[in-house]
Amino acid sequence: MSRKRSSAPARWLAVGLLSTSSLAVAQDGAEPDGDLPMQQVTVSGDRGADYYYPKHSSGATRTDTPLREVPQAVRVMTQQQIEDIGALRLADTVDYVSGISRLNDFGGTWDNFGIRGFSSTDMGFLVNGFAGSRGYNPPRDTATVERFEFLKGPASAVYGSSEPGGTINIVTKKPLFSSHNVAEASVGSRGLRRATLDSTGALSDSVAYRLNVMAEEGMSRSSLLDNKRHLIAPALTWRIDNATTLNYEAEFLRADTPLDRGLINVRGVLGTLPRDRVLNEPSDGQMHLTSDTHQLTLERALSDSWRAKLGASYKESTFDGNYTEATSLAADNRTLNRQATWRTLPSRDASLQAELEGKFDTGGIGHTVLLGAEASSLFMNMEILRSANYPIDIYNPVYGKPAPALTLLTTSSDEQQRVKALFVQDQLSLSPQWKLLGGLRWDEYKQHVINRVAKTDTRQRQNAVSPRAGVSYLPNAWSSWYVSAGKSFRGNSGTDISGKAFDPQHSTSYEAGLKLQTLDERLGANFAVFDITKTNVLTASDVPGYSVAAGKVKSSGFEADAFGQINDNWRVTANFSWIDARVAKDRTLPVGARLMNVAKTSAGLLLIREAALQGGGRWGVGGGANYVGNRAGNTADTYSLPAYTTAKLLGYWQVNKTVRLSLDVNNLFNREYYSNSWGNLYVVPGAERSVVARLKVEL
């Protein structure tokens, strides 16, 4: 197949990437089969999804828009990249995207990342455009994922309450009408045993199915800890007629895993304990996590220019079990005070969506108009029982001492959140070179919290209007310039000393960027600068035990990502970010304190060299490296997590069209490092070196 010659700027970019590192990474260069489900016009499959450089994304605008026309930074981690790096979780991909930080993940039991310095726990990720991270959620598995869309910048104008740094949209695998079956097995040196099955095909001329199954155990940092995960995800697509499609997707996940908060921070002196030291009780057993999700969407093409979509999502999750949790380190710097703890955290989240999209011209200006409405209801319960003090020696731990009785009810609460929203968006094509985007969303947020320990019953009702605007200039086929501005909001829980609900957090974000691509559209790069200010952050009041919405934080920085195929033998993923995220105003924290766990500088690089073998097979070898600078270890920025660099080796042998063997070495030099912290007490050690072998059979 002939290909156009790359443009000069893109060739210089590729040469620069190759000259700055001698590392390489292996990747399968399989071509996509081109068989996509019918009527996938919104958050769903993407053309060319197997490449490193997809051209379209529906997550950023809720419409199928070329990425080079979107006035914001969007980084898509495709299914091919997910496979090449051997990612089992969303967390395994974030090192290869600029501006992403690892934050406290509650002992490895859920996902939490900083995007441009701001936490992603609330509306931090979407699943096919529906809220996916509200409530209590196990870490996201890749078994059902077609792609991760990292949507930088505020998303409130499109999706409602969210942090201003960005949102991750998870696009799941959809049914195909051609038969395709993939089985994969993995074994690893850290006790990993994993098997997956992905099967899709037609049940009739109008109905197709997809079934993903996963079972996994192992991958813990200590022989005293273990985890097990099981997932089953059925999906159906019904082509009711040529204009109407009904999609149903479900996912049922079960996980038994330790609540492993990591190592004790001994007064800011890190490295005093071995990284496999366990300071809870191994006999506690596992935390039990469940997540059951159902999504139903009905799409209809009303004409060549208009489409309508109705959608519903329901998710029910639980989180419960026993855990011995540290509370403080005694003055002798070796006695750790602990409490035996039992907790249960069930949640239910239901959402409804309605959209109408139209394309038309007025006076020579092209419009893509989107009108929509949403409603959602989230219920969360929290019950926590604790014991009296139950100490242990951090240097010579003795396990198995009888635990005190669970007699202290420290938490017992119910929370109900209800949201109604209306939004409108218009994408204007003024000419082939100039594109404008404008959007506005109105949200009404209601919250009801019953705290049975504090004996309080509080309600609040808030409204927010979130606008955004952007302009893109496409002077030629290989570059695109843009500027954008937007506002976002996020509700503050609780009340002030007078019992009045806090005003929501408000954020303002400005961004400018450049997007490049080669003329053959196989290699691309994004560059962005941004400035974000968030106000009404909760901070301590003059009265102890109460808060006021008076804090302010700022984040400014620069990001760069490059990804794609340099030539027929080399592919690349590279990223760099510089983020200055600090406290701008607070009653207790020092002004200028860095935001916890957010490195000022981070970078990553993956390169692959692949070639064909006689007989139709292929081989690939390569590697990569990730660098993370030092980070504030607590909110007051009184101690730091040191900078670190880790290396990775990859290799594969595509024996034939159906069989692929892979071998990965993670943390090649067995570097000891800390990925994140939890305040003054805990630091989370990075995983030790591991070797993982994979066998994939595709029919």
The pLDDT of residue 55 is 86
Q: What's the CATH fold of domain 8-440+509-698?
A: Maltoporin; Chain A (2.40.170)
Task: For residue 105, give every residue at least 6 positions away whose Cβ sits within 8 Å of its Cβ, in sequence order, or none.
Answer: 91, 111, 112, 139, 676, 684
What pLDDT was estimated at residue 541?
62
pLDDT of residue 573: 95
Q: Which residues contact 381 (CB under 8 A, 6 or more apart)?
A: 344, 345, 346, 347, 413, 414, 415
**What confidence score (pLDDT) does residue 605 get?**
96
Domain ranges of the chain: 8-440+509-698
The pLDDT of residue 22 is 31
Check residue 694 and give its pLDDT: 97
Cα atoms in the Cβ-side hemisphere of radius 13 Å centred on 142: 23
Determine the Cα–Cα distance for residues 53 and 517; give it in Å rounded to an integer: 9
Q: How many CA atoms lie within 13 A of 340 on its CB side?
A: 18
User: What's the CA gap between 405 and 267, in Å, rounded?
Assistant: 30
pLDDT of residue 161: 85
Q: What is the pLDDT of residues 134-181, one digit of tens each?
A: 887 788 999 999 999 999 998 888 998 888 999 999 999 999 999 999
Sheet holding 113-115, edge to edge: 100-102, 113-115, 118-119
Query: Which residues have C-beta within 8 Å of that of residue 22, sequence separation ≥ 6?
Result: none
| Token pair for 253 | 């996940």
**CA angle, 434 as apex, 432 and 439 as ends, to 5°?**
120
Q: What is the pLDDT of residue 46?
A: 37
Query: Which stretch of DSSP H or E encloses residue 161?
Result: none
Within the chain, which residues score under 50 in pLDDT? 1-50
Q: Render pLDDT for 523-567 as a digit per residue (tens, 0 to 9).
A: 999 999 999 999 988 776 665 666 767 689 999 999 999 999 999
CA distance 695 to 217: 17
What are the start-end ranges of the H helices in 213-322? none
d(CA 391, CA 611): 58
Find out whether 606 and 639 touch, Cβ atoms under 8 Å.
Answer: no
